[in-house]
């Protein structure tokens, strides 16, 4: 056998193995904080994650009126820069494992390339596993399996520290967290994340960007 083709063959096999099944999930977040002044603050928001082959798209769910078009048209100071929280994040993984990360603003019809040095500015840790399945499975390996009752095909894991505990309901087949619960020891902060499977959309969101302006992240900085 011609050994010169082995590296290319191995790379192709690894690339094929890395491709996971389609995944579409709705993710709901809630955090509750008890401030020192006795006021309890509740924050809720939702997102949708769509994964197909080597592409991942996560978008904030914006209720009607939450992101007024009129504010963008007037260009007031509150909307001078790209709203990263409301923008979608589009991640493409190449065969060699390198990522191309972009944020997409549907209001401004703009696609922005984000270099690794700026990943933290958009809340991304730079891992394909996080982009494609919400949580890096390596974190599950470092956690302890729990005896807590779980639905078929899932298992609870627990971890954290003395000051803050974390529990994860992990889908063993599709390899994503169905639920994450965390709380600090004093009971002043707790948060939950729940993920629910949805049907894959008929059209992938990254195919609907005709006419969008292409920019670099540095273009948005003063």
Q: How confident is the model at residue 8 (pLDDT cuts 50, 70, 90)?
A: very low
If you average pLDDT over residues 8-25, what whole number do you get? 58
- Cβ contacts of 1 within 8 Å, gap of 6 or more: none
pLDDT at 153: 95
pTM: 0.81
Alpha-carbon distance 176 to 114, whole Å? 25
Strand partners, 150: none
Please tell me the predicted confidence (pLDDT) of residue 86: 86
Tokens matching residue 175: 């390899």
Name the band, by pLDDT with cuts 50, 70 and 90, for residue 219.
confident
- Give me the sheet containing 55-61, strands edge to edge: 144-145, 154-160, 164-171, 177-184, 189-197, 20-34, 40-53, 55-61, 88-93, 99-105, 110-114, 213-216
> C-alpha dihedral over 51, 52, 56, 61, to 10 degrees?
-50
């Amino acid at each position: 056998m011609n050994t010169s083709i082995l590296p290319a063959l191995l790379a192709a096999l690894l690339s094929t193995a890395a491709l996971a099944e389609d995944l579409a999930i709705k993710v709901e977040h809630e955090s509750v904080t008890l401030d020192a002044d006795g006021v309890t603050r509740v924050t809720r928001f939702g997102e949708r994650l769509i994964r197909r082959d080597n592409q991942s798209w996560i978008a904030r769910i914006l209720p009607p009126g939450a992101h007024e078009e009129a504010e963008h048209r007037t260009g007031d100071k509150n909307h001078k820069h790209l709203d990263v929280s409301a923008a979608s994040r589009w991640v493409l993984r190449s065969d060699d494992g390198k990522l191309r990360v972009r944020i997409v603003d549907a209001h401004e019809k703009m696609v922005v390339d984000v270099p690794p040095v700026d990943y933290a500015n958009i809340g991304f840790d730079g891992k394909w596993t996080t982009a494609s399945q919400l949580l890096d499975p390596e974190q599950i390996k470092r956690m302890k399996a729990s005896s807590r009752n779980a639905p078929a095909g899932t298992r609870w894991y627990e971890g954290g520290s003395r000051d803050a505990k974390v529990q994860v309901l992990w889908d063993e087949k599709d390899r994503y967290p169905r639920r994450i619960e965390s709380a600090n020891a004093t009971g002043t902060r707790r948060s939950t994340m729940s993920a629910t499977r949805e049907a894959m959309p008929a059209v992938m969101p990254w195919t609907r960007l005709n006419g969008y302006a292409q920019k670099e992240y540095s273009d948005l900085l003063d």
